[in-house]
Amino acid sequence: MSLHRLTSVTIGVPNLDASRQFYRDFGLAEGTPGRFSSRFGGEQLILVEQAERGVLEVGIGCHDTDDIGRTASALSRAGVESRVSDSRIQIHEPVTGLAVRIEVAPRIEPDVRAAHVENSHGARPRLNRRAPGIVEPEQTRPRKLGHIVIGTPDREITQDFFTRILGFQLSDQRGDHMAFMRCSTDHHNIAVSQAPRHFLHHTSWEVDDIDQVAQGAGDLLAVDPSRHLWGLGRHFYGSNYFWYFRDPAGHYAEYMSDLDEITDDEAWAIQTAGQRGGAKAWGPPMPRHFGAPWELDKIAPLPGMARL
Ligand SMILES: [Fe+2]
């Protein structure tokens, strides 16, 4: 596969200063005002002030200039209009108009820190010492941008754009409603959801482990409990632990860990219907408007939340 990860996401927000504060508290490092880095992914979140909230651009990394050439050829064969330079391709997803930038970017290598181990039913790998999560508590700092989820008025066409034209692999599909696609070994890097209009549902940020998910949540909610949206839980699609928050613009942001990893396309069994039910394997009930956040705007905009 030519592509190997998300590089960045650019989001429009109507309240830049409040949104900047949120993502600083979230654990991203702000360099230039409005531009945020994860621990291992470089500059991965760019906030831009504009009247209405929304996603403006997503960046996708490829290995080298040969990948740029191959992708440009595939786009040309598919009749997709693009702007191509030596190290970058600019295109737009046809249904939503979402700008997609494909660029040469370094891989994110697994870090060499010793993995945290947990005592469980079948194994007791941690003996005679306390859990790392209590011995080494530190502010949660996301490792990388893991995925984004967008709404589209035509899931089939948007899904086709990412899979057939750009080369993403389908990991799971929740009926006609939602598709989870990957351009790396992560279970999903982009998911698309059928919706009345284009919108950004959430950005998801990988953290080390469940301790970091819950510790980050505690720190965010200590500042403002109304940031809480949904968590702690474990998703069915992707298996990851999750905790979702609402940023001041109304975008959702997720801490996640322990996502399914797919290294062998043949070995992975794609699920195309929700035999196991809804979005969660366990966790609190899904908030009423989680799957349809635009309804929140029709009913009662939250303080500082722009209407879609
Ligand atoms: Fe997610």
Q: 217-263, pLDDT tens digit by residue?
A: 999 999 999 999 999 999 999 999 999 999 999 999 999 999 999 99
pLDDT at 308 over 80: no
* Ligand 1 geometric centre to CA of 85 (Å): 32
* Ligand 1 geometric centre to CA of 147 (Å): 7
* Ligand 1 geometric centre to CA of 202 (Å): 7
Of the given ranges (23-37, 124-138, 157-171), which has the lowest mean pLDDT?
A: 124-138
β-sheet bridge partners, residue 49: 13
- What is the rounded average pLDDT of the residues 268-276? 77
* Ligand 1 geometric centre to CA of 253 (Å): 8
* Ligand 1 geometric centre to CA of 76 (Å): 32
* Ligand 1 geometric centre to CA of 255 (Å): 8
* Ligand 1 geometric centre to CA of 69 (Å): 31
* Ligand 1 geometric centre to CA of 49 (Å): 24
* Ligand 1 geometric centre to CA of 235 (Å): 8
Tell me the helix, strand and coil percentages in the chain, rounded to 5: 20, 35, 45
* Ligand 1 geometric centre to CA of 120 (Å): 26
* Ligand 1 geometric centre to CA of 193 (Å): 12
* Ligand 1 geometric centre to CA of 234 (Å): 10
CA distance 249 to 271: 33
Residues in the chain: 308
Res 135: pLDDT: 76
Res 300: pLDDT: 44
Res 109: pLDDT: 81
Q: Is pLDDT larger for residue 272 or for residue 297? A: 272
* Ligand 1 geometric centre to CA of 6 (Å): 14
| Residue 228: other Cβ atoms inside 10 A | 15
- What is the rounded average pLDDT of the residues 8-33? 97
pLDDT in tens, 159-186: 999 999 999 999 999 888 899 999 999 9
Of the given ranges (13-17, 120-124, 222-226, 236-240), which has the lowest mean pLDDT?
A: 120-124
Work out the pLDDT band at 4, boundaries 50, 70, 90.
very high
* Ligand 1 geometric centre to CA of 79 (Å): 31
Res 90: pLDDT: 97
| Residue 70: other Cβ atoms inside 10 A | 14
Residue type, 115: A
* Ligand 1 geometric centre to CA of 201 (Å): 9
* Ligand 1 geometric centre to CA of 105 (Å): 23
Which residues have a Cβ under 8 Å from the Cβ of 154 and sit 6 or more positions away? 95, 194
Do β-strands 228-235 and 280-282 pair in parallel, antiparallel, or remain unpaired?
antiparallel
* Ligand 1 geometric centre to CA of 230 (Å): 11
pTM for the full predicted model = 0.93
Res 255: pLDDT: 98
Find the farthest-apart pair of alpha carbons in the chain and give their distance in angstroms, rounded.
Answer: 62
